[in-house]
Amino acid sequence: MSSAELSVFIRAIGVHTPERKLTNAELSTMVDTSDEWIKTRSGIAERRIAAPGENPSDMGAKAAAKTLERAGLTPADVDLLIVATMTSDVPFPSTACLLQAKLGLRRDIPCFDVSAACSGFVYALQVAKDMMRSGAYRRTLVVGTEKLSSVVDWSDRTTCVLFGDGAGAVLLETTPEKNVGLLGNLLGADGNNAELLHCAGGGSAAPATADSLRDGKHFLRMNGKEVFRHAVRVMAESCERVLAKCDVKSEQVAWFIPHQANSRILEAVASQLNVGMDRFPSNLERYGNTSAASIPLALEEAWKDGKIKHGDLVLIVAFGAGLTWGATLLRWHEPPH
Ligand code: UT7
């Protein structure tokens, strides 16, 4: 059988979230906001905040360890590691390399980061799938891990109420079975709108200086209204295009797992697709927007709650800084052990 015929499926999934919960009530003692405003405008009630020294590579390694344990595998079984993050531990080396060492993965495997902000996990899945279908890699860890609390301006009420920290991982594996696992995909970007959601300082264009720190250039800035508009349009369109590409109707999709940014965005996307919110599971209320970690966190919860079952069609869709977006249709596959 030629390797081009291999399918790639999610064999196991695991997450890790920091212990510390930051509630809306606590946030309203820090900035001029209220539990009611945050809940009605975003659907968020609390988010997790990483402890000092608890970095994306640490959270990602814990999520990945849990994933391997659920798969009944060890770090030695992994052939490739891809990490999606917009809050890497350090500018270089990659968070993937740091995670490789912490998890004790083999020393000879490729490890790298994908930078596509909140769409990072969907991008990383597609990169992994294409590398694996070549036959060179049998098992891949894809990890989405973020410490957004480190780039949020805690005096800016328009952004600080939205974001949280956490990590999620999947173990991808190849199989000769047909029509299972990652079926179809669509990725896109529009760098002309980069300034709508960005961090201006700290990179090589504007290295950190005393002035840049004073001016808050190292913080995330967002034009929330514009991002909201783009998010609804692009996420709905991406779902429609992937479904058309795979010749699948939205009625056949058991679960939609969108990037968890704002409950009103999810409602608007569901309404554009004419799909009930009962097929859009969400954990936004408890975690807020965790960027590249949000889809694996929501996917794991839907699986653990017994919602996602063997054979279900699941459509994941994301949108984020870049601007970037992506959608993947998959058929959930649980091989007999
Ligand atoms: O991961 C992808 C990236 N992120 C997103 O997808 C986020 C997309 N955007 C959003 O989710 C929403 O635009 C927000 C939740 C950020 C804001 O909701 P909105 O309904 O677009 O509110 P707004 O920005 O139009 O602000 C309405 C009012 C303003 O006051 P005025 O000008 O009407 O007097 C804001 O100053 O609400 C005010 N406001 C707040 N009030 C209390 C903004 N933030 C807060 C706050 N608490 N935290």
Rounded (10°) angle between helices 95-103 and 56-71:
50
Dihedral sign, CA of 273, 277, 279, 285?
positive
Mode of pairing for the β-strands spanning 324-331 and 181-189: antiparallel
Ligand 1: lining residues by beta carbon, under 6 Å: 33, 37-38, 41-42, 118, 157-158, 161, 197, 224-225, 227-228, 231, 261-262, 265, 289, 319-320
28-54 pLDDT per residue, tens = 999 999 999 999 999 999 999 999 999
Predicted confidence at residue 263, as pLDDT, reads 97
Mean per-residue pLDDT of the chain: 96
Q: Which CATH superfamily is domain 182-331 in?
A: Thiolase/Chalcone synthase (3.40.47.10)
The predicted model scores a pTM of: 0.96
Nearest-CA neighbor of 19 among 57, 54, 43, 45? 54
Strand 111-114: give its sheet, edge to edge: 7-16, 165-175, 139-147, 80-84, 111-114
**Rounded to a whole number, what is the distance in angstroms from the first to the last CA of the chain?**
23
Please name every residue paired with 199 in a beta bridge, in sequence order, or none if there are none.
Answer: 220
The ranges assigned to domains in the chain are: 3-179, 182-331
Q: Which CATH superfamily is domain 3-179 in?
A: Thiolase/Chalcone synthase (3.40.47.10)
DSSP 149: G
- Rounded distance from Cα 158 to ligand 1 centre (Å): 5
Predicted confidence at residue 1, as pLDDT, reads 45
144-172 pLDDT per residue, tens = 999 999 999 999 999 999 999 999 999 99
- Tell me, yes or no, if 218 is annotated catalytic: no
Interatomic CA distance for residues 166 and 112, integer angstroms: 19
Shared fold status for 3-179 and 182-331: yes
Rounded (10°) angle between helices 263-273 and 35-42:
20
Q: Is the pLDDT of residue 92 over 80?
A: yes
Task: Find out whether 297 and 260 touch, Cβ atoms under 8 Å.
Answer: yes
Cα angle value 321/112/100 (rounded, 5°): 125
> Which band of pLDDT confidence, cut at 50, 70 and 90, is reported for residue 336?
confident
- Write the single-letter amino acid at 97: C
Task: Find out whether 39 and 68 touch, Cβ atoms under 8 Å.
Answer: no
